[in-house]
Amino acid sequence: MSLLSRLREDLDAAASHDPAARGPLENIVVYSGLHAIWMHRLTHKMWANPALRFPARALSQFTRFATGIEIHPGATIGRRFFIDHGMGVVIGETAEIGDDVMLYHGVTLGGRSLAKVKRHPTLCNGVVVGAGAKVLGPVTIGANSAVGANAVVVKDAPADSIITGIPATWRHRDAKMTQPAVDPAEYVDPAIYISSAAPASSP
Ligand SMILES: CC(C)(COP(=O)(O)OP(=O)(O)OC[C@H]1O[C@@H](n2cnc3c(N)ncnc32)[C@H](O)[C@@H]1OP(=O)(O)O)[C@@H](O)C(=O)NCCC(=O)NCCS
């Protein structure tokens, strides 16, 4: 697939993920998340050539200056990626991101070790990471999961998880439907607590 087609897909992803998006021309101008991923598509290609690593880092640093979004050129990012709002996003060198992933502002995909190994998260296809969330270390977030705003995730989560809190815990996306909050056997109709001697409404 050509680089141009990839860039066009990113543009479509912006339109489909943000209800505030109005049209392609406006989106090209106003979405810093788009500017950041487009520059990353270029710097990631440059990163593959050791002679171009310094200019790749320099371009990525310039993009950070312009957008507030820091993506290391070494990070691997799949198709139709979108960052909404953008400011404060950090994506580390060994992060791996699947297709159709979306991040909000303030997200960190960071490391917890200083060793030069795989030390950043892997987000599988269709993951959404809420505003301010930190995913730290070489953890894997399964496909179609959602990380809640401000969560701090340091452990793996399976596909279709909702991951919230500090430290984050996960539940299956459908857990609310399969586990009613009240066991039906223990359900008591609140009407029994309403006194039959309650005053009648005024005439
Ligand atoms: C985590 C999230 C994906 C859950 O969505 P959901 O499955 O629709 O869940 P609900 O809204 O029904 O909430 C389910 C429970 O999780 C709690 N919850 C929701 N978001 C939470 C969060 N970020 N952290 C901690 N708890 C959260 C709710 O209070 C509720 O608790 P309860 O069952 O005790 O009442 C969503 O709330 C979220 O944080 N999305 C990120 C959105 C974002 O960053 N937007 C920025 C726009 S600028």
Ligand 1 midpoint to CA 192 (Å): 33
92-103 average pLDDT score? 98
Ligand 1 midpoint to CA 162 (Å): 8
Ligand 1 midpoint to CA 187 (Å): 26
**How much is the pLDDT for 3?**
79
Nearest to 143 by CA among 130, 133, 154, 157: 157
Q: Is the pLDDT of residue 167 over 90?
A: yes
**How much is the pLDDT for 138?**
97
Count Cβ atoms below 10 Å from residue 103 Cβ, excluding itself. 28
Q: What angle do CA 38, 43, 24 make, to 5 degrees?
A: 5
**How much is the pLDDT for 181?**
46
133-161 average pLDDT score? 98
Query: Using CA atoms, how far apart are residues 106 and 93, in angstroms rounded to an integer?
Result: 17
**How much is the pLDDT for 173?**
92
Q: Which residues line ligand 1 (CB under 6 A)?
A: 85, 104, 130-131, 146, 148-150, 162, 164-165
pTM, to two decimals: 0.86
pLDDT digits (tens, 9 = 90+) for 17-62: 989 989 889 999 999 999 999 999 999 999 999 999 999 999 999 9
Query: Using CA atoms, how far apart are residues 82 and 99, in angstroms rounded to an integer?
Result: 10
Cis peptide before 167 (omega within 30 of 0): yes
